[in-house]
Chains A and B, each alone.
Chain A
């Protein structure tokens, strides 16, 4: 060919280009990938484009993630008018440019093939597509004729201007029935913080802690603000490495990262906390003075008793107590498996007592910082509102009910009778993106824009020490002509009830005006009416301001945790409907990436599974993949067994999120819904659903299937992929403690 000529293919082509002969060769099918020159092999991959191919440049816009209510800031990559990739916004003090798997999947919520694409109204027995005019006319008629107390609005957590508009609608209708409902919440922790520390949402300084003792708080995956927490956790582990001890009956992601994982008997965490407190005060390790009366009360939780109730070796309990004193500053947290009990409030109070006596209040637990505008603050969802709503339904209290970002027919325990109760509601409106269980039961379905197509403002409930409002802006034009923004619908509806709203053609106009009128204390001194302020907000995506700092005053008291007896029943197991970072409370079951992502601990994909301890499984002669029937007082489900040592012998865990009857092709008929069979047990103090208080009978069926999970081996077989070093060796070389 061209042997001996010192010219390579690229410069040859360039030369041709200069000569104007490039076009003449364009049609020739020259072998473009291999040249053998000077005995050198040079293969050009199509992976790296040719030099004359210019890679497309994406444009990044700032917005806010709405996959859970943590309110992380986003950057979205847009090319040719399409949103392609979401990444964390480095300007957001919540997530500092990072994101979780649910945040990454925002694009699959947006481009999901099962979205509702036009308004639908119930005619006869079926939902039929109607025009927006017809839908809004009917909606206006229903809303203006309903009497105030018979109107209810059911939503997930809400904040920012969406929350303002919802409150406006409720007040115009004359109703107080707003039910903000979230299965995954931190209500009991907040109630206890409020009562014992005087501040519901104190800032948790993981980075300042030397030892974290977490009673079931899965702060790396589902608790408070996971991405923010993970960033703080990394600081906690680096430098002088902090120690993490996790107490819980079923290993969560946080438990998987613990230095010591302690499976106390389900429902006995409160007793364990008081037992640890007793050791601390009796040895004088407490950092804060403890009155004699408290010491006497704690004395009843002596080691033998606590050992017997919790099933944890006394030596281990003593070790945990000494860790708290030696490796401080301490931080003690309480999460779902601890507080999801009939006496959950007491259990969380017992945990908080440890924080108080170890002097964490003021060191690892700092006063809350909140955004200085209450109207924009988060209305956090909880399950006590679900209970109240279900009660209202059974009392036939409502004629018109709105559902937004909430799907109670799926996620409420069947025993609450939400589905049958809804039959008594004359007009049900679902503002939704997807044909979920609740939407398909509605009389009017209004298709919403996705988060990537909509405007909004978000003020996260947990701000981690900052005071930030995050702006959500559309990254692209709506995919479908017939979908609308939530705010747009609210503005349209409000204009029917109040002339004042007619000045706003849409939600954008309302938002723009609201931001223009923001007082200086919200804008950090900038002039909000200035055009550049708005442009800056669009660019940055976040508005940081000086927050209002709360104050902490600790109250020392010993909670009456009692002696839990439920678990003593040897014939039943405690059902743990554990929450997953991924499918969350079931709202992400329609995202294929998240269905195919192996569960972090069990590594199972695409289905439900029941985690059981090998000992428990052996007693029942069960092996992986056997289908079992799990029966509570309130119902039963069937699913496959996944045997794991990462669970207490007396527990069976079926993660929540699967088992949808509707909700699109990826979610429908996949797995079983463990939330549906929960007994209607509530925390007696806060009214929150006791998610970990359901006892179940497990029986073998004759069916089995292959348990589909990632990876063939659960141990490394000596191949040392993951090598482990002990921390005391590390410390010795660092010359530290």
Chain B
């Protein structure tokens, strides 16, 4: 990472910020998600599927208390901030994982370029370059980067639990930062299959472990550059666009429920959430 590169990239970023393309990358794909918070029931199926797919360690009670759990995908639960006797409108659940930001705040702070942007629109983490400075996690507004404070291999996968480990990706060791990859190993398999069959990737070729498991189909995953993909259609329907934050005074239509968390920070997240609905007349 040289200074001239940074400056060059920054100016290109600024130039392109106004245009449709937004950003300074030559993308092949831009994987993204749409998550409907009205049908997300907060059941943890996605989160557990992520543990199974991505070799996430179980850290145990004490390390969990210290905030060292490695749940790439976690279900946050909030109560309405009202002085009521009971939470009458139920809970608010939100699956939170790396938003694969287009203008990610984690990337420029890495002193060794261990976190970078792929041509697929993902923030990738190069484990063997990571020196554990943790600047990226410090800079992530979503708090979705997880640092291996310990080597969990022995404690998390006692024989024969280690036989369950997914051979398509590594087990990360002490001193390395990790986070949601949008199941990059599945993307790779899908790309390979498409190449072997001499065709372009189509919607549905890749499905992340979380979206696959979701009992209510609340998570839709796909390529936002493919205008016919389910995720693109969802983004379009709910009037969420790639690019910088544009403040909307009012929605043109109440049915439009799309928003991006921390959009106002101009990080261009790749995940669109759909507002939770509650029947206030009830």
Interface residues of A (CB under 8 A from B): 33-34, 36, 39, 41, 43, 45-49, 54-57, 79-80, 82-88, 95, 97-101, 103-105, 107-108, 110-113, 220-221, 226-227, 230-231, 233-234, 237-238, 241, 243, 245-246, 251, 253-263, 319, 323, 479, 581-582, 592-598, 600-601, 603, 605-607, 615, 645-646, 706, 708, 710-711, 713-718, 721-730, 732-734
Contacts and interface: CB of A to CB of B under 8 A. Distances in A.
A103 B48 CA distance: 9
B84 interface: yes
Given A33-B129, A596-B64, A56 B168 contact: yes
Query: For B47, B49, B128, B156, which residue has the most chain A Cβ atoms within 10 angstroms?
Result: B49
Interface string B92-103: 111010000000
Given A82-B164, A710-B74, A724-B92, 20 more contacts: A55-B192, A87-B212, A100-B45, A104-B52, A237-B277, A238-B39, A241-B38, A253-B41, A255-B90, A260-B279, A592-B161, A600-B44, A605-B61, A708-B64, A711-B76, A717-B81, A721-B76, A721-B78, A721-B94, A730-B254
A722 B126 contact: no
Interface of B: 1-2, 4-5, 8-9, 37-39, 41-45, 47-49, 51-53, 58-61, 64-65, 69, 71, 74-81, 84-94, 96, 113, 116, 118, 124-129, 156, 158-161, 163-170, 181, 184-185, 187-189, 192, 209, 212-218, 253-255, 257, 259, 261, 273, 275-282
Q: Is the interface of B mostly helix, strand, loop or mixed?
A: loop
Query: For B51, B188, B273, which residue has the most chain A Cβ atoms within 10 angstroms?
Result: B51
Given A55-B189, A79-B167, A98 B87 contact: no
Contact of A47 (B51, B71, B126): B126
A55 B184 contact: no
A727 B166 contact: no
Nearest to B116: A43
Contacts of B43: 100-101, 220-221, 226, 230, 253, 581, 600
Nearest to B61: A606
Contacts of A711: 76-77
8 contacts: A48-B118, A234-B39, A237-B38, A259-B278, A598-B44, A645-B85, A645-B87, A728-B281
Given A33-B129, A716-B81, A723-B259, A595 B58 contact: yes
Contacts, number: 309
A419 to B, nearest CB: 28
A712 to B, nearest CB: 9
A82 B163 contact: yes
Nearest to A227: B215
Contact of B52 (A95, A113, A593): A593
Contacts of A100: 43, 45, 215
A695 to B, nearest CB: 21
Contacts of A103: 45
A134 B96 CA distance: 54
A80 B230 CA distance: 34
Given A108-B161, A108-B164, A730-B254, A101 B47 contact: yes
Contacts of B60: 596, 606
B166 A722 contact: no
B48 A104 contact: yes
Contacts of B79: 645-646, 714-715
B282 A39 contact: no
Nearest to B51: A593
Contacts of B51: 104, 593
A287 to B, nearest CB: 20
Contact of B276 (A85, A260, A724): A724
Nearest to B161: A111
A41 B113 CA distance: 10
A57 B214 CA distance: 23
Contact of A256 (B8, B39, B42): B42
A234 B217 contact: yes
B58 to A, nearest CB: 4
Contact of B164 (A54, A107, A594): A107
Contacts of A718: 81
Contacts of A79: 167
A284 B10 CA distance: 70
A53 B125 CA distance: 19
Nearest to A581: B43
A55 B167 CA distance: 9
Given A33-B129, A41-B5, A85-B52, A231 B213 contact: no
Given A45-B124, A261-B88, A479-B160, A596 B78 contact: no
A724 B78 contact: no
B216 A231 contact: yes
Given A39-B5, A47-B125, A605 B64 contact: yes
Contacts of B37: 722-723
A39 B53 CA distance: 37
A728 B77 CA distance: 24
Interface centre among B64, B74, B253 (most CB of A within 10 A): B64
B115 to A, nearest CB: 9
A104 B167 CA distance: 18
The 5 lowest CB-CB distance pairs between A and B, nearest first, are A230-B215, A234-B216, A256-B91, A101-B48, A722-B92
A648 to B, nearest CB: 8
A725 B276 contact: yes
A722 B78 contact: yes
Nearest to A77: B166
A80 B163 CA distance: 10
Contacts of A48: 118, 124, 184, 187-188
Given A84-B166, A259-B89, A725-B257, A113 B160 contact: yes
Contacts of B88: 260-262
Nearest to A615: B85
B45 A101 contact: yes
A710 B282 contact: no
Contact of A87 (B213, B257, B278): B213
A651 B163 CA distance: 44
Contact of A49 (B74, B76, B188, B259): B188
A335 B181 CA distance: 40
Given A98-B213, A733-B254, A256 B90 contact: yes
A289 B166 CA distance: 61
Nearest to A83: B164
Contacts of A86: 52
A640 to B, nearest CB: 12
B216 A111 contact: no
A49 B84 CA distance: 53
Nearest to B281: A728
Contacts of A55: 168, 185, 188-189, 192
A733 B255 contact: yes
Tell me which of B37, B87, B215 has the highest count of chain A C-beta atoms within 10 A of its own C-beta: B215
A101 B255 CA distance: 31
